[in-house]
Amino acid sequence: MRVSANYCAMSTLPDSASNPTLAGTIDQVAEASFLGRKIPAGRRRAAARLIAGRLGLPGGYAGAFAEITAELPRTVRVFTGENLGRNARRRHVLAEEACRSLRLLGRTTAHVSIALKTADDRLLAQIAHVRERHPDTPRGTFCCPFCTVSVWRNATAGGLRTFTPELAAGLRQLRSRRDTAGGWRTYPFFYTLSALLEIDLPAARAELRHAAPRCARLLRKLRAQAPYAERRRELLRRVLAAV
């Protein structure tokens, strides 16, 4: 898979000889899980330590996991390739995805478990705080579509315990955002698909059926050598198999 030179994902998970980043570690954990690649125990522990060690440091969203200073000027993309930019959205999405990564990595140490619970509690508190300030925010969503999808992905991985019951309401809101091209207005298409595939609700499957014709068209057109093509093609195949 070819990616741009300034993209911060690492080719390997952390070890003593590399200089891993938070976003790069998250990306590689997500890729290994999605493609069914086993992560060696040592790399798994190192990845968990790196993520957990970023808890509460300057720049982290709501006191959750913060990026390493060296990665701040670099382009960061979500697992499916959409650009996160350089704003609060980026910090929030990385925090949610960091929690998800720790759950994918499984049990490691007590320190990691405590860091994960702390981050989860802080993110839930931030959701509650933002809703107090913006009471018109639809249930099951959060501030913007990118952030909403990251919250869904964390919740379906086992996090955000009090938010999970709201997923059905969030999917009703997504349905209201459907467009005529098989996507959803303002929602990142591939990233949204990645969340829908993990939500075990009839409403999620209904949205996948809405997207299926577009997925079929994209699968025929997507160039094999394009960045993120391997992930996107597999994602499209899984959507079509699910419907």
Q: Which two tokens stand for residue 99?
A: 């929690």
Q: What is the pLDDT of residues 112-147, one digit of tens each?
A: 999 999 999 999 999 999 999 999 999 999 989 999
CB-neighbour burial class of residue 119 (10 A; exposed 0-12, middle 13-18, buried 19+): buried
- The percent of residues above 70 in pLDDT, for the chain, comes to 91
Which pLDDT band holds residue 4 (cuts at 50, 70, 90)? very low
Q: What is the pLDDT of residues 25-80, one digit of tens each?
A: 999 999 999 989 999 999 999 999 999 999 999 999 999 999 999 999 999 999 99
Predicted pLDDT at 225: 66
Q: What is the pLDDT of residues 163-176, one digit of tens each?
A: 989 999 999 999 99
- 3-class SS string, the chain: CCCCCCECCCCCCCCCCCCCCHHHHHHHHHHHHHHCCCCCHHHHHHHHHHHHCCECCCCCHHHCECCCHHHCCCECECCCCCECCCCHHHHHHHHHHHHHHHHHHCCCCHHHHHHHHHHHHHHHHHHHHHHHHCCCCCCCCCCCHHHHHHHHHHHHCCCCCCCHHHHHHHHHHHHHCECCCCCECCCCHHHHHHHHCCCCCHHHHHHHHHHHHHHHHHHHHCCCCCCCHHHHHHHHHHHHHHC
Predicted pLDDT at 222: 84
**Residues 20 and 11 sit within 8 Å (Cβ to Cβ):** no
Say what the pTM is: 0.90
Which amino acid is located at 183 in the chain?
G
Which sign, positive or negative, has the C-alpha torsion 209, 195, 200, 122?
negative
**Residues 225 and 2 sit within 8 Å (Cβ to Cβ):** yes
Q: What spatial distance separates the first Cα and last Cα of the chain, rounded to whole Å?
A: 27
Q: Rg of the Cα trace of the chain?
A: 17
Which pLDDT band holds residue 19 (cuts at 50, 70, 90)? confident
* Mean pLDDT, the chain, whole residue set: 90
Angstrom distance (rounded) from CA 117 to CA 135: 26
Predicted pLDDT at 86: 86
Angstrom distance (rounded) from CA 224 to CA 229: 6
Which pLDDT band holds residue 18 (cuts at 50, 70, 90)? low
Predicted pLDDT at 108: 74
Angstrom distance (rounded) from CA 67 to CA 149: 20
CB-neighbour burial class of residue 228 (10 A; exposed 0-12, middle 13-18, buried 19+): buried
Does the pLDDT of residue 12 top 50, yes or no?
Answer: no
